[in-house]
A and B are shown apart, each in its own frame.
Chain A
Amino acid sequence: MDKLLLGNEAVAAGLLESGCRFVSSYPGTPSTEITERAAEYGFYCEWAPNEKVALEGAVAAAVAGARAFSGMKHVGLNVAADPLFTASYTGINGGLVVAVADDPGMHSSQNEQDSRHYALAAKLPMLEPADSEECRVYTKTAFELSERFDTPVLLRLSTRVSHSRSPATRGQPQDMPLREYKKDASKYVMMPAMARARHIAAEERMKALRDYCETTPLNGITWGSERKIGVVASGIAYQTAREALGDGVSYMKLGMVYPLPAESLRRFASQVDELWVIEELDDFIEAHCRQHGIKTRGKAELSPLGEYSVPQLRRAVFGADEDTARATPPVAVPGRPPALCPGCPHRGVFYVLAKRKVTVFGDIGCYTLAAAPPLSAMDYCLCMGASVSGLHGFLKARPEAAENSVAVIGDSTFMHSGITGLLNAVYNNSPVTVLILDNSTTGMTGHQQNPATGLTLKNEPAPALDIAALCAALGVRRVCGVDPYDMKAFGVVLARELAAPEPSVIIAKRPCVLLKHVKKGAFFTLDREKCSDCGLCLKLGCPALKKGEIDGTLCAGCGLCAAVCGRSAIVGRAL
C-alpha cells in the first residue's frame, strides 16, 4: 500500500531515492519537515545557522561531486539569494536541488512573496509538484535535470503541498557515487573574467531548457469534455482549479514553471475558445503569455492575495452565482489568535517591557506573539535579525529613544542574522540594549537544534556556542544574564542597561517549556476569598488564566501570575 505522506516527507523520500549525500537547511514553516525527515535516513544532514550558509554548503558539496540539497521557506531564499544567483553561473558537478516553500495566505510568515521570480531572475529551472507523489518524483527529476543541464534546480512548494498528506509510493534508495572533482577555476572561481564566460554558459543553458520545456513530460494536457475553456495551472492552484471547474474544462498542467513553454502554451490557447491562467500570488505565467501575445484571462478577475478557494474560482470562471448562498464563517464568534504558551519563558520579559512602556524592536519567532493583546509589547518586526540592526537605525535617527528602547531576539534568530547587526551597533557606536531570549531551541518551527543547543540535527553532541562570550568578542562590554521567570530581577537589570550609554546585551535564559526534558512545576491555584477580580494577572496573557480561575490542565507552574498578584490570591510553588 502507498503511504500517506506529507509533501515535505515525500521530498525527503525523493532525496533518499536520488542518492543525495548532503543536506543543509535552516528551519522555516512550511519547509522544515523535509530536512527533519531526511535526517532519519543515512546520508549527511545538518541545520545551518541560516539559509545562506546552508546553500553555500550545498553548492560546494555539489561541486565536490555529491548530490546535494538545501530546503527553506520563501523568505529564507531571500537570505540565500546571494549564493543562488552566482551558483547559476558556476553550475554544479553533482546534482543540486533547492526547495523553496511559499506560503500563500501567510499561515506562518511575514509576507507572501512569490518565489517563482527567483527562477527568472537567477536563470534557473524551477519545478512545482502538486501533491506528495509528485513531490517525490519531481525531486528525483530535479536531480536528473540538474546534472543534465549543469544547473541548480529549484523545487517550488507551497503550504498546501508541503503540509498536505496524500498517497506516495516508495522507490528504492539509490547509491550515487561521488562524481570526479577536478580543479577548474574557469568554472568555479567567479571573478569578472571567468564570470563573463559563465554568464554565456548560463544563457546557453537557459536556451536549451527553453527547448526542453516544450517537450518535457512534466507539462501535460488533460482534455475536458469540451474545448470552450482551457486552464493553465501548476502546483496547488491546479488542484483547486480541477476541483472547482471539473472535467468539462481542459487543463494544461505545468510541472515546470520556469522556463515556461511559449509554443506549447500558444498551441493550447489556439485549441480552446478561452484561456484562463489560474495561479496564486503573482501573474507569473500570465505575464509570460502576454509577452508572447497569448490572450488570457486570470489575475484581473482573480486576486494576487492569498490562496484561491473553490467557490472563488467557480465564480470567476463560470460567472456562477451558484455559490453566493454558500456557507460563510460566523462574524460574532470571538477570534482565537495564537498566543505564548502557559509557562513560556518569554512572557515575563514582555510583561515587564509592556508595563514600562518600552519601545520594542521585535524579531521572528514565537516571541513575535507578544505583539498581540494583552501584552501588545512590540513596535516593530520586519524580518530575521532586523530587531538589532533596526534598533540601531532607529536610534541614529532618534538618539533620545535609546533610554527606553530595546531589541528582542531569540537565540536561533540571533545566530541566524542578529550577530552582524550587533557587530554593526558596536562598530558604529549605538547604545543599543539587546535582549536575547535564549530558550535553548528553535521554537516556532517545532523545536530544532541550533548551534547553541549542544546537539546536531541528528542529536549528536556538538560544541554549544557561548552566546555571552560571542557578544563580548563582538565588543559588547556589558553582557549579563537573567532568569526570565524572575521579573523583579529582570526589571532591575533592564533599567540599569537602558541607562547605560553603550551597547549592552541581556541574555534571558530558560528553556522552552514544551521541550520534553523541561520539568513543569505543579499547577497554581486561585484563592477565591482573596481574589478581588482586579484583572492584573490577566495582563500576562496566559492561556491558563481566566477571570476567577486557573486551568490546572494548562498551567505549567511558572508562577508569574502569583508574582504580579497584589493580594497573594494565587498560590503554588514557583519553579
Chain B
Amino acid sequence: MTNIVIAGVGGQGSLLASKILGYLYMSKGRQVKVSEVHGMSQRGGSVVTTVRAGEVVRSPLVTPGEADMLIALERLEALRWHYMLGRGGTLVASTQTIPPMTVITGTGVYPEERPEGVWLDALECARKAGSVRAANIAALGAASAFLEFGREEWLSALDALLPEPLREVNKKALLLGAEAASEYKKGSTSTGTK
C-alpha cells in the first residue's frame, strides 16, 4: 500500500496534485482512492488531501503515522502534517511561507522549525516555468524523484488532466521541481533544522 498526503493552503492546488497522483497509480493498474477537501476550508484554510494506492484500498484516508510521503506546498503545513509520516517516510516540501490569520493578527508565531526532508523553492521553480500558479506541480516534480513513475508518465498525466493552454508551463514546472530534487539527492540542497 502506498500512502501519500498532500498538504497546503486553500487555493494552492493540492486538489490537482492529488488528482494527478491518483491518475498515475490508476495507470499502473493499482486500486486508488483519493480524498479531497471542498467547501469552507478551501478559503485559505489548511487543506490536506490523501492518495492511497494498492491491491485493495478501503478507506480513502491515511492513518496518522502511516504515510510514505508528505508533499507540503507550504512550510508551516509541512510542520503541521509531519506527524502523518511513518518511519522512513519522505517529506517533500516547498519553502514558500504563507502566514495564517493567527500569525497575521499576532496571536500566533510562525515557527522557524523545519522538519527534515527534501526542501525546494517551488514558487521560484514555478516562476521560472512561467506562472506562480504552477508551484503545486513543481513540488510534485520534486516528489517524482522518489516515486515509481517515469518522466513520460508524468508528462502524459499532465496532458490528460490539464487543459491545453496550461500544459507547457506545468510541464516546465514539473521538470524544474524534479531537477531541484535530484540536486538534493546529490546532497547539495538544505535539509531541515530541528
Contacts and interface: CB of A to CB of B under 8 A. Distances in A.
B57 A373 contact: no
Interface string B81-111: 0111100000000000011111111111111
Interface stretch (B40-48, B138-146, B177-185): B40-48
B169 interface: no
- Among B27, B31, B40, find the residue whose CB has the most chain A CB atoms closer than 10 A: B40
B172 interface: no
B79 interface: yes
Contact of B40 (A330, A444, A547): A444
Nearest to A32: B38
A444 B59 contact: no
A164 B34 contact: yes
B36 interface: yes
- Among B27, B44, B109, B132, find the residue whose CB has the most chain A CB atoms closer than 10 A: B44
A165 B33 contact: yes
A242 B56 CA distance: 11
Nearest to B43: A338
A339 B101 contact: yes
Nearest to B10: A338
A2 interface: yes
Contact of A538 (B33, B98, B105): B105
A163 B108 contact: no
A333 B45 contact: no
A335 B63 CA distance: 21
B33 A337 contact: no
Given A327-B65, A339-B45, A546-B103, A164 B33 contact: yes
Interface string A241-261: 011000000000000000000
Given A4-B34, A166-B57, A310-B59, A373 B107 contact: yes
A545 interface: yes
Contacts of B110: 334
A333 B37 contact: no
A311 interface: yes
Interface of A is mostly: loop
B32 A165 contact: yes
A310 B59 CA distance: 9
A108 B39 contact: yes
Nearest to B30: A167
Interface string A326-355: 111110111111111100000000000000
B26 interface: yes
Contacts of A333: 76, 79-80, 111
A336 B63 contact: no
Interface in B1-39: 9-11, 19, 22-23, 26-27, 31-39
B61 interface: yes
A243 B59 contact: yes
Interface residues of A, number: 59
A336 B58 contact: no
B64 interface: yes
Contacts of B9: 336
B117 interface: no
Contacts of B61: 160, 240, 309-310
A4 B161 CA distance: 12
B100 A6 contact: no
Interface string A9-40: 00000000000000000000110110000000
Contacts, number: 179
Interface in A57-81: none
A374 B132 CA distance: 28
Nearest to B46: A336
Contact of B63 (A311, A446, A542): A311
Given A329-B80, A553-B132, A335 B108 contact: yes
B101 A163 contact: no
Given A131-B33, A165-B19, A546-B104, A339 B39 contact: no
Contact of A165 (B34, B65, B111): B34
Contacts of A372: 101
B60 A336 contact: no
A338 to B, nearest CB: 3
A488 interface: no
A108 B63 contact: no
A166 B32 contact: yes
B80 A309 contact: no
A543 interface: yes
Given A2-B26, A166-B57, A107 B39 contact: yes
Given A243-B59, A338-B40, A541-B101, A330 B35 contact: no
A336 B45 contact: yes
Contacts of B76: 333-334, 336
Nearest to B133: A553
A336 B10 CA distance: 10
A237 to B, nearest CB: 10
A335 B102 contact: yes
A284 to B, nearest CB: 21
B103 A107 contact: no
A98 to B, nearest CB: 21
A327 B104 contact: no
B100 A334 contact: yes
Given A239-B59, A333-B111, 9 more contacts: A32-B38, A107-B37, A309-B61, A327-B64, A336-B45, A373-B101, A446-B39, A543-B101, A546-B103
The 4 closest A-B pairs by CB, nearest first: A334-B108, A108-B39, A29-B39, A338-B45
12 contacts: A4-B26, A29-B39, A166-B31, A328-B83, A334-B102, A336-B101, A336-B102, A337-B45, A339-B43, A373-B107, A445-B39, A546-B103
